[in-house]
Amino acid sequence: MENKIITIEELEIGDEILISCQSFFKYLRVLAKPQINPKKLHWHTKQPLYGSVKCSTRQEEKIKYSYTDHNGNIINRLGKEWIVTPDDHNKRISVDLEYRQLWLVKKV
């Protein structure tokens, strides 16, 4: 039942999934069951679609680069990085999982 591509209808609370987002991966734990949003309709068929799903994930701020300005001060530029791990989730986000490939990592 684990390590396969699933659909949004098969998601349950506590499932752990992996999705791609731009140039990185997000490891998500589902906190709320996906529900159909009657206000969100498919552009062509006018059928209702699923709304955003509440999930938890891990994100850290890391120094991307440092430089010295003209006064001699060291400036650090921070960037946010998604950590692909099932442990220590520190962020709750709402993700639109419609039309995405969902890789099931762990089924509860």
User: Span 4-58+88-106: which CATH code?
Assistant: 2.30.30
Q: Is the pLDDT of residue 1 over 60?
A: no
Q: How far from 12 is each of 4, 7, 24, 39, 83, CA to CA, in Å? A: 15, 11, 24, 22, 22
Instruction: Categorise residue 72: left if φ over 0, alpha if ψ from -120 to 50, beta otherwise.
Output: left
6-18: average pLDDT: 95
Please state the domain extents for the chain: 4-58+88-106
pLDDT tens, position by position, 49-81: 999 999 999 999 999 999 999 999 999 999 999
pLDDT higher for 84 or 38?
84
pTM for the model stands at: 0.84
